[in-house]
Amino acid sequence: MILWEALQYEFMRNALAAGILASIACGVVGALVVVRRMSMMSGGISHAAFGGIGLGYLLGFEPIYGALAFTIASAMMMGFIRERTEISEDSAIGILWVTGMSLGVIFIGLSPGYAPDLFSYLFGSILAVPSSDLAVMVVLDAVILTVVYFLYEEFLAVSFDEDFAKASGVPTERVYLILLSLVALTVVILIRVVGVVLVIAMLTIPAATAWQFSRRLNEIMLLSSILSVIFTIEGLWLSYIFNIASGATIVLVSVATLLLASALKKIFQ
Partner 1 sequence: MNEVIRLEDVWVRYGDIVVLEGINLSVYEHDFLGIIGPNGGGKTTLLKVILGLVKPVRGRVTVLGDTPERSRRFVGYVPQITLFDREFPATVLDVVLMGRLGRKGILGKYGKEDLKVAYDALESVEMLELKDRRIGELSGGQLQRVLLARALVANPKILLLDEPTASVDEPTKTNLYKLLKKMNDKVTILLVSHDMGVISSYVEKIACLNRKLFYHGSPEMEGEAVEETYQCPIYLIAHGFPHRVLKKHKRGK
Binding site for partner 1 (CB under 8 A): 35, 150-151, 153-154, 156-157, 159-161, 163-171, 211, 214-217, 219-220
User: Which residue, 102 or 159, is less far from partner 1 as judged by CB?
Assistant: 159
User: Which residue, 117 or 153, is less far from partner 1 as judged by CB?
Assistant: 153
CB of 139 to partner 1, least distance (A): 21
Contacts from 65-74 at CB under 8 Å and sequence distance 24+? 67/121, 67/187, 67/188, 67/191, 68/184, 68/185, 68/188, 70/100, 71/45, 71/46, 71/183, 71/184, 71/185, 71/187, 71/188, 72/181, 72/184, 72/185, 73/48, 74/44, 74/45, 74/48, 74/100, 74/184
Cα–Cα dist 180/98, whole Å: 19
CB of 268 to partner 1, least distance (A): 17
User: Coil, strand or helix: which one is 178?
Assistant: helix
User: Which residue, 214 or 257, is less far from partner 1 as judged by CB?
Assistant: 214
CB of 215 to partner 1, least distance (A): 5
Cα–Cα dist 187/180, whole Å: 11
User: Which residue, 37 or 114, is less far from partner 1 as judged by CB?
Assistant: 37
User: Which residue, 61 or 213, is less far from partner 1 as judged by CB?
Assistant: 213
Cα–Cα dist 30/27, whole Å: 5
CB of 83 to partner 1, least distance (A): 13
Q: Is the separation of the CB atoms in 44 and 96 below 8 Å? A: yes
CB of 81 to partner 1, least distance (A): 18
